[in-house]
Amino acid sequence: MKILRLILLIAHIGIFFLLVGMLLNAYVPPKVFPWFNLLSLGFPFLIISYVILTIFWIISWKKRAFVFFFLGLLFFNPVLRWVNFSGDKSSDKPDNTIKVVSFNARNGTFGVKDVEAFVNNQNADVVLLQEYGGNKEYHFENLNEAPQTPIIAIFSKHKIIGHKQLINSDYEYNNAYATQTDIEIKGKTYRFINLYLQPYKFEKSMVKLNGSSDEDEKKVKNIIKRLIPTFKMHQEQIVEVRKAIDHSPYPVILAGDFNSVPNSYEYYHLVDGLQDAFVEAGNGSATSFHDYKLPIRIDYIFTSKSISPTSYKVDRSVKISDHYPIIASFNLSK
Q: What is the pLDDT of residue 180?
A: 97
Q: What is the pLDDT of residue 219?
A: 67
In whole angstroms, what is the distance from residue 118 CA to residue 120 CA?
6
Amino acid sitting at position 21: G
Amino acid sitting at position 122: Q
CA atoms within 13 A on the CB side of 270: 35
Q: What is the pLDDT of residue 205?
A: 53
In whole angstroms, what is the distance from residue 19 CA to residue 50 CA?
9
* Residue spans of alpha helices (H) in 60-170: 64-72, 76-80, 112-122
CA atoms within 13 A on the CB side of 162: 13
In whole angstroms, what is the distance from residue 194 CA to residue 164 CA?
11
* Residue spans of alpha helices (H) in the chain: 2-23, 35-41, 43-59, 64-72, 76-80, 112-122, 204-207, 213-246, 265-271, 277-281
Q: What is the pLDDT of residue 72?
A: 96
Q: What is the pLDDT of residue 224?
A: 86
Q: What is the pTM of this model?
A: 0.92
Per-residue pLDDT tens digits of the chain, which is 334 residues long = 788 889 999 999 999 999 999 999 999 999 999 999 999 999 999 999 999 999 999 999 888 999 999 999 999 999 999 999 876 666 655 567 999 999 999 988 888 999 999 999 999 999 999 998 877 788 899 999 998 787 899 999 999 999 999 987 665 557 899 999 999 998 999 999 999 999 987 665 555 555 566 666 676 788 888 899 999 999 999 999 999 999 999 999 999 999 999 999 999 999 999 999 999 999 999 999 988 778 899 999 999 999 999 999 999 999 999 999 999 999 987 5
Q: What is the pLDDT of residue 18?
A: 98
Burial class (CB in 10 A: 0-12, 13-18, 19+), 236: middle
Report helix angle 43-59 to 2-23, nearest 10: 140
Nearest to residue 19, comparing CAs of 3, 1, 42, 2? 42
Q: What is the pLDDT of residue 93?
A: 52
Q: What is the DSSP letter of 250?
A: S
In whole angstroms, what is the distance from residue 158 CA to residue 186 CA?
8
